[in-house]
């Protein structure tokens, strides 16, 4: 019972941080959830949590969606997330976990050092980063950070950024959820989790929305990135130790 409570509490915290940081909860939830479940199950649980999370964000921010950006980021993202999810069924999961650790460490270091890093606000950068984010999301469980770097170039208001990102993510997460479920990454004995994940996703998004209105983004962003760096370093250390 205590383990279950800790798991759902961790999910709630990750959801709040994901809303505040603008990267989505998976960048935190995937590594943290591995302390409770295998990487395969974590991928399945994360994809469903993200589906509920994005629906919650659309309920809270939906009127602010930028549909033009949603199209350029979302279509390649949905197409390539299917490829990434399929790769997890063909490649040893140890390599997927190693890739996740490398991604989190490099992502956090780059954004901490280049705190104003942005890609050019072009259709090309939207298509490429959207596709790359989808591919990594399917393979590692999290890829919204890459899309976030590109979307930042369009200087969107916070509410538009969150709403548009959630709309894009919803298509990506529904697509990879189908692949994961088909390959038993989410098993029937875990169905009891679904109502709790729904509640956590909405409550976390709501709290994150309220805090987002009060906390300076620049300050909190650095704290978030340091957390991501710490988690990524732990995963990387564990996976390299196993390989050696």
Say if residue 88's pLDDT is above 90.
no
Q: Which two tokens stand for residue 77?
A: 């993202």
Closest CA to 72 of 9, 133, 22: 133
Question: Alpha-carbon dihedral of residues 210, 216, 221, 223, nearest 10 degrees?
Answer: -90
Say if residue 121's pLDDT is above 90.
no
Say if residue 12's pLDDT is above 90.
yes
Say if residue 9's pLDDT is above 90.
yes
Say if residue 14's pLDDT is above 80.
yes
Q: What is the pLDDT of residue 203?
A: 93
The pLDDT > 90 percentage for the chain reads 8
Dihedral angle sign, alpha carbons of residues 11, 206, 161, 49: positive
pLDDT digits (tens, 9 = 90+) for 31-56: 788 888 888 888 889 888 888 988 98
pLDDT digits (tens, 9 = 90+) for 194-213: 999 999 999 998 898 888 77
Start-to-end CA span in the chain (Å): 35
């Amino acid at each position: 019972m205590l383990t279950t409570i800790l798991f759902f509490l961790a999910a709630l915290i990750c959801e709040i941080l994901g809303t505040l940081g603008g990267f989505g909860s998976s960048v935190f939830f995937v590594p943290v959830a591995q302390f409770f479940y295998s990487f395969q199950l974590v991928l399945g649980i994360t994809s469903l949590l993200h589906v509920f999370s994005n629906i919650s964000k659309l309920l809270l921010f939906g009127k602010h969606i930028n549909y033009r950006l949603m199209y350029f980021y979302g279509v390649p993202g949905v197409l390539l997330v299917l490829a990434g999810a399929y790769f997890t069924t063909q490649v040893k999961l140890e390599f997927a976990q190693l890739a996740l650790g490398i991604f989190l460490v490099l992502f956090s270091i780059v954004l901490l050092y280049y705190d104003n890093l942005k890609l050019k606000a072009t259709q090309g950068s939207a298509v490429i980063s959207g596709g790359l984010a989808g591919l990594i999301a399917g393979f590692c469980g999290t890829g919204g950070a890459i899309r976030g770097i590109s979307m930042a170039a369009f200087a969107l208001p916070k509410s538009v950024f969150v709403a548009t990102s959630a709309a894009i993510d919803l298509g990506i997460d529904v697509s990879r959820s189908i692949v994961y479920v088909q390959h038993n990454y989410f098993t029937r004995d875990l169905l009891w989790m679904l109502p709790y994940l729904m509640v956590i996703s909405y409550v976390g998004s709501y709290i994150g929305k309220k805090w987002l209105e009060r906390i300076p983004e620049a300050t909190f962003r650095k704290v978030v990135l340091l957390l991501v760096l710490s988690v990524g370093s732990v995963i990387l250390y564990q996976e390299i130790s196993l390989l050696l």
